[in-house]
Structure 1
Amino acid sequence: MMAAFGGTLRDVENVYSAGVWTGWSAPIMVVAATVVAWMVTRVTGVVLRRVVRRLADRAVRAQAGPWRVRSRRRNEESNALHEQRRRQRVDAAARMINHLVSVVVWLIALIVVFHLLEVDAAFFLSSAGFIGAGVAIGGQHKVNDYLTGLLVHFEDRYGVGDLIEWETPSGGMVCGAVENVGLFTTRVREGDSSVHIPNHALAHVRNRSQEAAATTLHLRVGSRVDEAAVSSALRDLAGEPGLTDVLFVGDIASHQPDTGEIRVDVMTPRPLDPRLRERLERRAERRLGAQATDDDRPLV
């Protein structure tokens, strides 16, 4: 992309130095630079979408990265629907990244046009300093909205169809269904009307559609371990190095069948990937085993 514009500038300088610059050369080169910029934005859009999709699919297979799971929604039982919504997140993130690349491309194209028309860009911008100041102030909020919207897709804060609750500037709580997550704003259906909210205003939001993920842990410990000890050990392990992503929601239920192992049902905000679940089981077994050994020691 940069090489294409760099080559255009060098060609223009060569034509100018050769003395063959005519009255029609500048408009033609301006049109050429505009066409090249348009083509670059189209090509980068296709490439970015494919790259982001491939990275997302690789993250799902490797059980790592922001795309490996998506918080399940209430009444969402179909795996096909689950995958479709994840794809929507991936495509939306790719579009937002492409918008940023397009802005950079068109800024470079604008500089090229200034150069072709022999316009001093620095003088042009400095002469409209008050306009530049206004654009900078407004752009600051737009950048904040853009980054917040991008994080919404990466972190799966909410998506189309989710029922969210947020706090208004006056301090009241408003609840509505998400209709669209745009580049700078989110459209929410509230009652019989739609509300357009800047993305940065939804930095703190409660998603009522996301449900906790149920996971069953299998622990092989001694028969003397009771349910209270299991619950206490698991809660103590949450947040330790290597388990910082583990957070339990609600009560921890455990039962010990005839197989000699303890089955523990836990609820977490996101499903535990196999590696994290195995790590949690092994550490819980070691801790519970150590506690059982201490209880068996005779009192002196």
Structure 2
Amino acid sequence: MWDNPTWAPLVASLITIVLILVLAIVLRKVAHRVITRVVNRAATGGSITSRFRKNAVPDSIDALLHERRKQRAETMGSVLKHVASIVILGTAVLTVLDRLTIPIAPLLTSVGILGVAIGFGAQELVKDFIAGMFMLLEDQYGVGDVIDAGAAVGTVEAVTLRVTRLRDVDGRVWYVRNGTITRVGNESQGWSRAYMDVPVAYDADIVSVRVLLEHVAEEIWADGEFRETKIVEQPQVYGVEQMSDSSLVFRISAKTLPSAQAEVSRELRFRVKSALDSAGIPMVATA
């Protein structure tokens, strides 16, 4: 049977098809392995928190940033693996069909028309995915960040290519499509700022008030619990920020680690109120 010359082209085509499929599978595995290595390298990059202070930051904060890098890298790795699989296996299937003398031009035309129809029907979905990819690539926000996404304000609980899940201060969970987010305010990226305005009577001794507030700033900076885990730089007293016929408003401000501004603000209010009470300086209502 194998000596019959009519079988030779069929056997050659079969061998060629097998080789094409094997080569496609091997290329797919190699591409996935390369992508996995790149993802692992991106996920285990060096800590970026050292830029914020001379002393080392706590392990918990560094672990949070590491987890964020890992999530972003794994998401992009998953997308790249899917794209590589579609390109390599799709090319292999088309090559096999061409080898079997099956006309692929009508097939490609049909697929193109179907793709256009699906594209028109899934414009919003495609928009969400593209926005999600750029959001991850540009590291606009990640899990644990407090953001203002326009439609909702809250803590990011999950990020996918299609939606971002937020939980607001009331406990509501918001699902915001990435394609609908036109601007994002991130309160947790890099550093944050806590500040407090202190209104005192117009006839108060401004030198005494400023010295008292500077003493509060030095106290909280010397507190190891805050200096090691929440505050980046020593708090500053800016002096008189506002002035009216009934009050003077001083401002004390502190640069903090991301998402720590609320806790630092509460501590500043507590210490400033205690110091003012001890000095017998009353706070007044502002207009």
TM-score normalised per structure 1 = 0.47
